[in-house]
Every structure is written in C-alpha cells, then in structure tokens.
Structure 1
Amino acid sequence: MDIAERAQALALKIRKHKASIETEEATKNAFVMPFISLVLGYDVFNPAEVIPEFTADVGTKKGEKIDYALVHNGQVQVLVEAKKVNDPLRVEHASQLFRYFSVTNARIAILTNGEVYQFYTDLDAPNRMDAKPFLVLDFSDVDTTLLPELAKLSKESFDLDSVISAAGELKYIGQIKRVLATEFREPSETWVRYFTTKVYDGSFTQKVREQFTTLVDKAMRQFLNEQVNDRLKSALGGPDSFVSVSNAVEPAPTAVEAEAPAAGESDLVTTEEELEGFRVVRAIVCGEVASNRVVARDTKTYFGVLLDDNNRKPIARLWFNRTKKYLGVFDENKVETRYALERVEDIYQYADRLRATVARYRDGVAIPSPAGEVLVPAVAE
C-alpha cells in the first residue's frame, strides 16, 4: 500500500474505535503506535528504530520522558508526545517537547491525541521548537495534499532537509486555509466589516452588520459556484458547455482485476492512467471500507470503480478514452455527474463526494453531501 492507502486505513480504524478509548495509554496502543508502524513504516518493537519512554535530562528536570523517539541512521530525528484521544491539543501539552527539543538532535516534534497530529520544527529560532505547528494532519478528515510531505518522514523515504525547507510555506498555507475555512463556515465581524466597507458608504451599525453578514455569506458561496462553473465550462470547450449527467445503472461486463482486461474482452485496453485513477479512488475510499471491497471494471467507453463488485454500487467512472479526461461521481439517486480533470491527481478534489457515496452503500442510508461543499448545477445529456 502507498501512504495514502495506509493513512486511510488508520483513519477507518480511528473512526471505528475512538469512542471506546478512554485513556492515554489506550490511545497510544490503538492509534499512535499504528501511526508510527503502519503509516510511517518504523518497527515499534525495534529499539534501534523506535525508543518508547525516551529519557534525556534537561537542566534541573531529571527523568522526564517523551512517549516515543524515532531513530533514523542512528540518530534521534523525531519526538512524539501523545495525549488521550478526543482531548483537544493545547500548547501546554507540548511543554516536554519544548524542553527536549533543545537537547536532542531531533528537528521534528509531533504532538498528537491519536487522531490529530501536529508537527513542529524550529523555523523561528534555531534549536527552539516553534509555538505553532507547520503541519496539522487530522485523521477525521485526511487532507491528501499533505500526505507527500508526511511521506518524507517515513522510514522508506526519510528526507529531513526537504521537510524543513517546505515547513515555512506549509505552516502559513495551513494557517491561512484554516482561517478561510472558518470564515466560510461563519463569517466573522472583521471579515463582514472588510467587505461591507468596500461596497457600502454608510456607518457600520448593528443593523448593517446583521444585514451584510447574510449578504457576505451568500456572495461567497455564489462566487465559489461561479468559479467552479467557469472552470468546468472552459475545460469542456466553451461558455455553452455543461456538466453531463447520466443514469448510473446499466449493464456492465464481467468484473476484472485492476491490472488486466476482462476475460473474453481482449479488444479492451486498460491504460496505466486508468489504473492510476483506480488506485487514487481506492486510496480515497478505503477509509470507509476495506480496500479489497473496491473493484475495477473496464468497458469500451469508461473504466468503472464499484463497491463489492456490484454494478448497483458504482463509486466512480473514469472517462479517459477521449481527448479530455472526466471523472464521473454519483449522488444519492445514483445519478452520475462528470467533472473535467486536467490530471489524474485532480480526483482528490472530489474525495468527499467519493467517500460519501461509499458511506451510503456501506450504511444503507441516504447521506447528504459533505457540509459546505460546492455543488455544480448540471443538465442532462
């Protein structure tokens, strides 16, 4: 499995079991050790790779311990401090990490509650851990754009210099994205005031604030919809283009293995791009179901991805047999909407839609689209 699949497998485990975890020790055993072993690839039972209860005397502080120290090339490179799952992480939790950071060779410190992982380094002052993380990975909603950076800390691909060089940009991009997400969920008074003063000449009274809070919220959502529509129209060939929709259930050929055409259909050619797209879809949804339940079917017109090899449970269609590539996703009525892709990696932009589709099949209930998602109007072909 690649790191995306490993991360999604851990996300599924956390989602299943976190309600039953009541102690810090249980959090370490259930989630933190699997993160170190499954996701990062270190042998948690090999003291040459993972040192539990790592001790380094700091000034007058004697015998304090860090939960784990990760060793690479014989040097301690990463410190990990764990707290109980469901407990919010606060800077006070990192006090031991702050002290240990200056007396070890480690350049990376991780504070975690088993579900949220905060990564720190020393961007602001040498050998002094920053007060804010440069990367935050939340396994309740994995941001797949962060996984390539996480891979640089894995045993197989360890590249500390690359992590440190990218940390400054990651730190501020991550913080800006979190601020934007908060403002889009619930515009703050500062945000509303900023836009109001750009378009309204009167005083910013309580009545005006209440009126423009609604207007700013509505304008932001309409703007996002328009941007997505414009991009799709451009990709599809012009202002009169549209996103196509078709019924999902139709006859399909015999199931095939992901790596080869179906038996008896030798004229089918399964391309490497289709296989890559299938792997991306499988990596996205394996946080909801086991990866072996996600099956590929190739046809002459599209490459299908199904749950449980069941034609009534379509997850996605890859329309790659043409000049422009499209991803087909399905709503709760099994109606397909196609989105233009510039690259196979663009499938990650629709991760929430794909996971919601699989969750509906898994739970057997109607699940609305993820909160805050921009839905693009579409018309039938």
Structure 2
Amino acid sequence: MVMSSATESRDEIAPVRAGEELDWPALEAHLRANIDGLEGEFSVLQFPRGSANLTYCVRFGDRRLVVRRPPFGTIAPGAHDMGREYRVLSRLHERFDRAPRALLHCGDDAVIGAEFLVSEYRDGVVVWDSVPASMARIPHAGHRIGLAVIDGLADLHAVDPASCGLADLGRPEGYLERQVRGWSSRWDAVAAQAPSVETAKVVEEVGRLIRAAIPTSQRAGIVHNDYKVDNCQFAPDDPDRVKSVFDWDMATTGDVLVDLGTLLNYWPDRTVDPGSDAAFIAVPGMHGLDLPSRAEVVERYAAGSDLDLSRIQWYEAFGCWKTVVILQQLYARFVRGETTDERMGQRGDLVEPLARRALALLAN
C-alpha cells in the first residue's frame, strides 16, 4: 500500500491525520473481495474537514472510492449509523441525483474496528467559508450558491419515499416528539463535560422550552437531518445547482421542516445586528459568502411548497439546539481523550452562544 501525497487541494483532501489510521491491509483486502473491478495500486487520503465521521478517499489505480466509518470513542445511541446511510444512498440516487450511490456496507467490526460504508467518489467543490476560486469571476456567485442549496433541499423534500423503496426508513407519526426526547437524552449523556455550569443551565432551559412548544407536523418526507451549505458539493464552474449532498447517516422520514430549521441554524445573515444573539451561527466564517438573508431562504423555500411556515422559528431553534448537542458531543470526546483532533477542543466555545440564539428565537 502507498500513502498518497495530496496532489488535490489540501483543504479538501490530505494525508491521513495522526491517530486516525485504519487497518489498511484489511480494508484493501475486503474491498477487493467485495467490489468488482478494483485494480491497481491501493492508496489512501483523508477528507480532513469533517467533524465527526471519519471519511477517506481510497484509490485503486485511477479509481477512487469514499470510505466512511464512525468516529473513535463513545458513540451516542442511533448516531453515526453507517447501515442507515448505506440503505439511503443505495436507493435514493434513483430519484434524487444529488445523492452519491452507495456500493457496500460492512457491518463486521473485525475488519477495521467499526462498521463502514463505501460509496462512489464525485469530483467537485465544497463551499466552506468563501466562494471557491473556480467561481470567483461568476457574478453574484455566493448568492446563487445559496439559492441552489435551498432549491436542492426543496427537491429532496419533493421525493416520495415510497418511489425509491424508503417508505419504511422512519416512523413519521410522532417524529418530532421522538426527536426531542432523543436529543434531550444525548445532551444528558454529555452534560457532565459542559464547559461551565452556566452553559449547562442555558442549554437545559432551551430544551425545556423546545419540549413545551412542539408544533403539529404537516407532512412527512425524506429528512436529511444535517442539511447545510458545506454538506453540498458543486461543479467547479456552476453555482446554480447542487451536484451532490453528503452525510446521510441521520436521514429518516419525518417532518421535512426540521431540515429547513437546520439550514437556517447554520445560515449567516447580514441583515441581522451582528451583536445580537440571533446573529450567532456555528460556522462564523461563512459570513464572507454573501448568501441570501434568512428571510429570503424562507421565501425561496415557500415558493415551491404548500406548507405553513408560520412556526419556522421553532424549527430553527430546534436546529440550534441539536447543533449545540452535537458540538457538546464533539467537545466531550476531546475532554475524554477520544480524539487527537484539536479542533474538537474548541467546539465547547460555541455551545453557550448558540444556545442563547435558540433562546432568542423561542422568545419571539
């Protein structure tokens, strides 16, 4: 096996981070035995910018594949479900071409220490904190990227789960209530590692208010559950259409407005007072993208939907609260010594301000 040097952008793909190596000979042997047509020398790089699941670019000669496994350490119940992601991506591509096709799921932990998923590799660019260089000369590229992300979400929600064999992916009845209970339990599991007592109190108050005001769901569809700009890929020269959507391990069927709330939670907005709680987002660097305002996001989504969006602030607050819990899970893994990724040690700094944004939304 050869560990490749990173000839692609080091931001998108890089040598494997220390401490996140797998049993490469075992992985190579398993893939060659279970996926047809793998020829040539085996090599590995890593997609380093994700925060949770470990994702690798595996080469066999000129052919590239994507391998994903859960993070090391304690895993929250129901999280990082590679079997679920495989099920979704082995079927959804038939009706939603932004979903990369899954090729293999291995549920045998003995191979590389955890279950894992293999999917097709797609070329393209992921938008992080600035307009990609390949789009720099395209007029209003950031605004157009934002509109494309919203349109991609609306297109996903228009898919009938039964049309691609996913009708029984989840249980839409009582979906919001179960989600709220589940995220409450996830917080309880990591609350002891909260950055401060005050932070824990704020997060728990958000949870109380969320539980007290659960809206009535209007329609069920496929819910990605972590839909955001940096989980979308674009062709290098096309800001007007999302090419691929990644990270489907939490996908289910349920109230689709959960996805819109999640998207708003990550969305920067220059029309909002930068000093207010409402301005805070989990990825502050995204302000440089010049995306549409949150009001435009809701308007764009509403234009292609017959759903009542009058309770959208609850969904946005719920999205904030879920992100708070995820950030705390990542921070707790760092505190417990389960990751060598120093970025995870900084995740705790975001927990309280994001929770205060959720409080502000719930007060309106």
Say yes or no: TM over 0.5. Answer: no
Given the two structures, how large is their TM-score scaled by the length of structure 2?
0.31
Determine which structure has greater relative contact order: mean sequence separation of CA pairs < 8 Å that are 6+ residues apart, divided by chain length: 2
Given the two structures, how large is their TM-score scaled by the length of structure 1?
0.30
Q: Quick check: which one's strand share is greater?
A: 1
